[in-house]
Structure 1
Amino acid sequence: MPEVVVYMKRTCPYSRQAMELLNEKGCEFQKVDVAADERRHEEMLRRCGRQTVPQIFIEGQHIGGCDDLYDLEARGQLDALLGRESQDSTAP
Structure 2
Amino acid sequence: MSKVIMYTTGFCPYCKMAEKLLRSKGVEKIKEIRIDLDPEQRSEMMNKTGRRTVPQIYIGEKHVGGYDDLARLDHLGELMPLLAS
* TM-score interval for Structure 1 and Structure 2 normalised by the shorter chain: over 0.9
Give the 4+ runs in structure 1 shifted more than 3 A: none
% same residue = 39
Provide the secondary structure at the position in 2 that maps to 1:51.
coil
Unaligned runs of 5+ in 2: none
Query: What amino acid maps onto 1:5 in structure 2?
Result: I
Between Structure 1 and Structure 2, the one with more helix by share is: 2
Aligned-pair CA distance for 1:42:
0.9
Between structure 1 and structure 2, the one with the greater Rg is 1
C-alpha contact 1:10 1:16 (8 A) present in aligned 2: no
In the superposition, the TM-score normalised over structure 2's length comes to 0.93
Aligned-pair CA distance for 1:24:
1.2
Aligned-pair CA distance for 1:59:
1.2
Query: What amino acid maps onto 1:13 in structure 2?
Result: P
In the superposition, the TM-score normalised over structure 1's length comes to 0.86
Cα distance in 2, alignment partners of residues 43 and 19 from structure 1: 21
Unaligned runs of 5+ in 1: 85-92
Cα distance in 1, alignment partners of residues 75 and 19 from structure 2: 16
**Structure of greater relative contact order (alpha carbons < 8 Å, 6+ residues apart):** 2
Deviation string for 1:5-37 (max 9, x for gaps)? 000112010011001111111212101111011
